Chains A and B, each alone.
Chain A
Amino acid sequence: MHFMANPNIFSKIMEALIPWVIVIFVFSGTLGLIFALFISPPDYQQGDSVRIMYVHVPSAWMALFSYLMIALGSLSFLIWRHPVGSLIAKASAPVGAIFTILCLVTGMIWGKPMWGTYWVWDARLTSMLILLFLFIGYMLIGNAFENQNHGNKVASIFALAGSINLPIIKFSVDWWNTLHQPSIFSMKGISVSNEMLTPLFLMAICFQSYYLLILFMNIKKQIAIIKINNHIILSISKKEK
C-alpha cells in the first residue's frame, strides 16, 4: 500500500476510478430507490415506515465508516507521515457529518410513530450524537491553527482519541439495555427478510459510492489548494532574489 502514499500516483488512481464510481452510484441509487419505495413489501409491524430503514441504516454504516477512515488516515499520517492519509482523513469529515445527521434525523422521524418519541437518551442514540460532535470537533480543530501542518497533527490526535466511540456505538445495544433495537446481524444470521435486504444493500452500495465521489472531489480540491499555495510561495521567493 505504500506506493499509494504518493499524492501523484493516488491522483491517477482516483481519476481512473471516478467514472466507474459515478456509474455505480447512479445505477445502485436508481435501482435501490425503486426497490425501497415500490417493490419491497411493507413490514408486518411497522407498515410502510420500514422504508425509512433503507436510508437510516446505510447512513449509520457510512457515518461509522467515514469516521474509521478519519482514524486510519490520521494514524498513517501521524506515524508514517503519509500525506495521502491526512488528505483522506480531512476529506472524510464533512461527508461523515452529513451521514450522521441523516442517520439521526431519519431515526427521529421513525422513532415518533414507532416508539412514541423523537428522542431518548439511550446508549445508542447518545453515542451517535457524540459521533456528530466528534466530526464537527475534528473539522474545527484542523482549521484552528495558523500553521496547517500543526493543525493536522492536533486534529489527528483528537480523531484517534475519539475513535474509542466506534466500538461503543456498535456494541451499545449489546452491552446495555437500550430502546434502540439490536443489530440485524447476529450469530443466528440476518434478521431482515430477503425482499427487504435487496433495497438495503443497494442503498448501502449507493451511499458507499457517494462517499467515494465526495472523498475524491474533496481530495482533488485539497491537492489543488496545496499546489496553488506552493506556486505563490515559489513566485514570491523568486521575486525576492
Chain B
Amino acid sequence: MKKKTIRLYYFLVGFVALVLGASLILNAFEDGIVFFYSPTDLKFKKIDSNQKIRIGGLVKLGTLTQNNELFSFKVTDNEENIDVRFTGILPDLFREGQGVVAEGYLIKPGEFNAIEILAKHDENYMPREVADAIKASGEWRGDTESDKQ
C-alpha cells in the first residue's frame, strides 16, 4: 500500500472514532445542553422545587395579566400549559403569542415562579406590510399558533 493510502485510512478511522465519541458525549449530556424544558418535557421530569430551571414555549394568548409589577401568564407548547408568575421588567419583544424563556423555580407541577424572562425570537423576518397581509389572508403560522386553540 502506498503511504498516502495508509494515511487516508488512519484519518478515516480516526474521524469515525471522533464522531462516535462526540455523539456519545453529547447524548449523555443532553440534559445540560438543552437551554430550557418545554411544558411537555416537565411532565416527565422530576424537578425539585428549589432547583433552578428554565422553561420555554409560547405566551398563551389572552392569559397575560398585570398587577403593579407582578405579571402572570401561561406558557404553552400547544399541548401542556404552565402558569408563570414574574415580578420585574419584561423584554421589549415579550408579547402574547411570542416565544419566551423563563428562568426560575417550579414551585409545584404546573406553577412556575420566574426570576428572569427572556424573549425568544423566531426565524421569520418580514416587513410589517407583509406580516399584516399574511395575517389578513389567514395563512399566519408559527409564533401565534396558540390562538387556534
Contact = CB atoms under 8 A, between A and B. Distances in A.
Nearest to A186: B123
Interface stretch (B42-50, B58-66, B105-113, B114-122): B114-122
A164 B18 contact: yes
Q: Per DSSP, are chain A's interface residues mostly helix, strand or loop, or mixed?
A: loop
A164 B19 contact: yes
Interface residues of B, number: 41
A181 interface: yes
Contacts of B35: 120-123, 176-179
B101 A43 contact: no
Interface stretch (A12-20, A30-38, A189-197): A189-197
A168 B7 contact: no
Contact of A44 (B11, B34, B91, B130): B130
Contact of B11 (A75, A114, A123): A75
B130 A176 contact: no
A177 B119 CA distance: 14
Range of interface residues on A (Cβ < 8 Å): 35 or more
A120 B22 contact: no
B8 to A, nearest CB: 5
A160 interface: yes
A236 interface: no
B4 A81 contact: yes
A224 interface: no
B71 interface: no
17 contacts: A43-B127, A75-B11, A113-B91, A114-B91, A115-B91, A116-B90, A116-B118, A123-B35, A161-B18, A168-B26, A178-B35, A179-B120, A181-B123, A184-B123, A191-B124, A192-B125, A195-B127
Interface of B: 4, 7-8, 11, 14-15, 18-19, 22, 26, 30, 33-38, 56, 90-94, 101, 116-132
